[in-house]
C-alpha cells in the first residue's frame, strides 16, 4: 500500500477536507527546530540528515516526511509505503507529535480518526 498523507492543524470537528471552511487558516505546528525536535523525540530512529526531508523505516514500511524549509512549519507531507495496518498507528503518532491531523490526499479523509475508533 502507498499513501500520500498531508498533516496540518485541521479543525477537530472536520471529518473530511470538504468540511473545512474555505476561509480556514491553519495555525503552524511551530518553529522548524521545535517540530524536528518533537519528531525525533517521538521517533529516535528518524533520519533527518536533510532537515527538510526525513526518512522513517522499520523494515515493514517506509515513511518519507517532507517537512520543508519554511519556518515555522505549517504542514508536513508523508509518502508512506507498506502495510496499512502497520502504517496507521505510526502516521497517527507523527500527527500527534506535531499537533496535527493526518489526511489521505487521495480521499480527503482524516486517517488518524480511524486509529482512535
pLDDT of residue 18 exceeding 50? yes
Kindly state the average pLDDT of the residues 5-21. Answer: 91
Number of Cβ within a 10 Å radius of residue 75? 19
Given a contact cutoff of 8 angstroms between Cβ atoms, the answer to whether 26 and 8 are in contact is: yes
User: Could you give the CA distance from residue 46 to residue 109 in angstroms, rounded to a whole number?
Assistant: 26
CATH architecture of 2-11+32-115: 2-Layer Sandwich (3.30)
pLDDT tens, residue by residue, 78-117: 999 998 788 999 999 999 999 999 999 999 999 855 443 3
Find out whether 40 and 46 touch, Cβ atoms under 8 Å: yes
Higher pLDDT, 30 or 113: 30
What pTM was estimated for this model as a whole? 0.89
60-73: b or e for each residue (b if 16 or more CB lie within 10 Å)?
ebebbbebbeeeeb
- Bridge partners, 63 (sequence order): 56, 80
Amino acid at each position: 500500500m502507498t499513501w500520500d498523507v498531508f498533516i496540518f492543524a485541521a479543525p477537530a470537528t472536520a471529518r473530511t477536507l470538504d468540511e473545512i471552511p474555505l476561509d480556514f487558516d491553519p495555525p503552524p505546528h511551530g518553529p522548524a527546530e521545535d517540530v524536528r525536535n518533537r519528531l525525533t523525540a517521538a521517533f529516535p530512529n528518524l533520519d533527518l540528515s536533510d532537515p527538510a526531508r526525513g526518512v522513517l523505516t522499520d523494515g515493514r514500511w517506509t515513511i518519507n516526511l517532507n517537512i520543508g524549509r519554511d519556518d515555522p512549519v505549517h504542514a508536513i507531507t508523508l509518502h508512506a509505503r507498506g502495510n496499512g495496518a502497520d502504517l496507521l498507528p505510526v502516521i497517527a503518532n507523527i500527527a500527534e507529535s506535531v499537533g496535527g491531523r493526518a489526511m489521505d490526499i487521495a480521499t480527503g479523509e482524516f486517517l488518524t480518526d480511524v486509529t482512535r475508533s
